[in-house]
Structures are given as C-alpha cells and as structure tokens.
Copies of this chain bind each other. A is one copy, B any other.
Amino acid sequence: MARPRKPLLSRERIVTTALALIDAEGLPALSTRRLAAELGVSGPSLYNHFTTKDEILDAVADTVMAKVDVSTFQAGGSWRAGLLDWARSYRAALAAHPHIVPFLAQGPGRRPAALKMADAAFGGMVEAGWPPAQATRICAMVRYFVAGSALGSFARGFVDDPGAYDPADYPHLGQAHLLPEHQRQVDEGAFEDGLRALVDGLALQHPARLPQPDRIQQR
C-alpha cells in the first residue's frame, strides 16, 4: 500500500483501540503487532505516531485519568466533600479499566490529566487549611487506597471452591468460597466503609482541632 492519501491512523484511534484491547483481554494482550492488526495496519506503522509502546501506554493512562472529576474541590466546599467526591470519581475511573492500574500507579510523570488532578486535589486541601506537608500525604494515601481498590477485586481473589479451604488449615475461612459471588457488594462496601473511616480519622488530624503551635509547618 505505502503511504495513503489520507492517513489510516491517528494517535486518538490508536489510543482508543489500545484501551479497548486492554480492557477486553488484559495488559499482556496489548502487543504492537496485535494492536496494529486490530487497526488494520502492519506492526511498524504505529511507530509513525508514537516512538515507543510505552508512549502509547502513557497516552492511554492519561485518557483514563482525564475522567477523574475534581470539580468539588474547585467549587470551594468543605475538604470532606471535596475528598469524598474526588476519591469516588477517582476509583470509578480506575475501576472501569483495572488492567491498566499498575501502569497508572507509577505516578503522574509528565501526563497532563494526572498532573491536573494532583494540582486540584492538593490545592483544594491546602485552601481548606491543611498544611502542605499534610495535604501531600493525604493525596498520597488517597492514591494508595484508590489504586489498591481498583487494582483487583478483593472478593474475586478467593477461589470459588469450598474444597480450597481446609478447616484444619484455615479455621475462619469456612465461608470464603462465597466471596466471589458477592464481588460488587464486598468491594464497594469495603471501599465506602474505608473511605468513610479515612475521612473521619483525618478530621481528628486537622490542625484546626489541635492546639496551635506557631509555625512548625514544613514540606
């Protein structure tokens, strides 16, 4: 074929197809050759639009992060409301694409959507009176909790076979084989309970609650 008059590929089409492939078959299924086949071109064609496979993954990651909603922080409500809305939206965005979470969790790097989220969350917490060092740690712990919960289902991590849990070895796991059946309830319940606990517990750490020592803020 050689060069067509109208490009067959675009960065956008590559990214969209890559994400669909990852969602459908997992990260290992995304090979450049398989992706190219899915797009109707030969393998090396992709290198006209991205210099490396990792760069494709970066673009996919930023697409996912762009779905996270941080508007509550910008609306200037309480830090509790901002944090709750952010964390829930963050988890929803990641849980929709669990196979790319290990890659995402490597941090924002230079990806604009990831940086925009970090900026809004950190800024929102600081404006709500959190010292920068604490605001940083809170952003980190939310990332931990969200990424961990989106990385893989807790409930589906247990096998669906009563015979796998010998009472002699695991006296308390007699019901564990039922977990996969209730995957959604367990995982969403755990996330909600945990998020609530986290926010309640953080409230106790807010400087407004403490006797005010003068300026030991640091970063």
Contact = CB atoms under 8 A, between A and B. Distances in A.
A126 B175 CA distance: 13
A151 B105 contact: yes
A146 B126 CA distance: 25
Given A107-B153, A155-B140, A170-B115, A201 B197 contact: yes
A187 B106 contact: no
A194 B148 contact: no
Given A109-B157, A154-B143, A172-B123, A202 B191 contact: no
A169 to B, nearest CB: 7
A76 to B, nearest CB: 14
A93 interface: no
Contacts of A155: 140
Interface string A73-85: 0000000000000
Contact of A141 (B139, B164, B191): B191
Interface in A161-219: 164-165, 169-173, 175-176, 178-179, 186-187, 189-191, 193-194, 196-202, 204-205, 219
Interface string A83-109: 000000000000000000110011111
